Structures are given as C-alpha cells and as structure tokens.
A = this chain, B = another copy of it.
Amino acid sequence: MVAIAYDDLTPGRVFDLGTVRIDRDEMVEFARRFDPQPFHLDEEAGKRSVLGGLCASGWYTSSLWMRAYVDHVLADSTSQGSPGGNELTWSAPVFPDDELRFGMTVNSARLSKSKPGLGLVEITGTADRDEERVMRFTFLGMFGTRA
C-alpha cells in the first residue's frame, strides 16, 4: 500500500520536506546551462546587480524543491503528475551555502468529475531561509484514490 494517495491529502495538512544546503558549484553549473545571466554566474556581476551577490536561478531553487517533494511525498504515492500552477514566486535571492527548509501545505482537494478514481489537489510548496520565505509555488497535483 502506498504511503500517500488522494485520500491522505486533506486540506490543511502540512508536510516537512527537509532541508538542503545550496551547493555553489552545482548552482553555477545549472545557471551556465539554463539561465546564464551574469548575476547567476559571477560573484562580481552579482555584487553589481540589484540582487546583491552571486545567486541561484529561480529555476534551480524550484528544481531543488521538486526533488524534495519527490523524495518525501511522490516517491511512495499515487501521483499522476501535475498540469502546472497558478503562482510561482521567487521572493528573495538565494545564495551559495544558504540552508533552505522545504515544505508544503494542502490547500484544497476535490475528486475529478470526468476521471473516476482521480483527485485534484491544490498544494502550496515553500522554501524558507530561517524565517524568510524565498520561494512559493502553488499548483495542482493529480493523485489516484485508494479505492
């Protein structure tokens, strides 16, 4: 029996998705391939920018959150993927060696009208550095029911 099905994702339920420390080398490697803006590649360019220093591509932070979501929730679940979200906020720059705490909260859940056995769950994923929120992603997840 899987750990997480639609039935377990009740509104208000909160999940701790653990912590990660931002690895400078991987952060820059990601930016070099997918988001080669100067402030994501070079310390001096970062200092000259409004971001204040060499910082992570928002897509890197989001991808790290996704990995934590897979490890802590999706890996043992009835997940059927996601059609996307309606909010993706990068509210503060993320720097090398930052420790981020990942989490998620279930906002709402409803059964699909067209697909029996499938439920749609609205989830807000978060990344925090100490008390400061650095990322928030609100999206729909599709999960099979236990029945």
Residues on A facing B (Cβ under 8 Å): 30, 33-37, 39, 49-51, 57-59, 62-64, 66-67, 70, 74-75, 79-91, 93, 136-137, 139, 142
Contacts and interface: CB of A to CB of B under 8 A. Distances in A.
Top 3 closest pairs, chain A to chain B, by CB: A84-B89, A34-B63, A84-B90
Contacts of A57: 66
A49 B89 contact: no
A20 B82 CA distance: 23
B49 A80 contact: yes
A90 B82 contact: yes
Contacts of A88: 84-86, 88, 137, 139
Contacts of A64: 34
A128 B66 CA distance: 23
A35 B63 contact: yes
Q: Which of A50, A83, A84 has the most CB of B within 10 A?
A: A84
A84 B79 contact: no
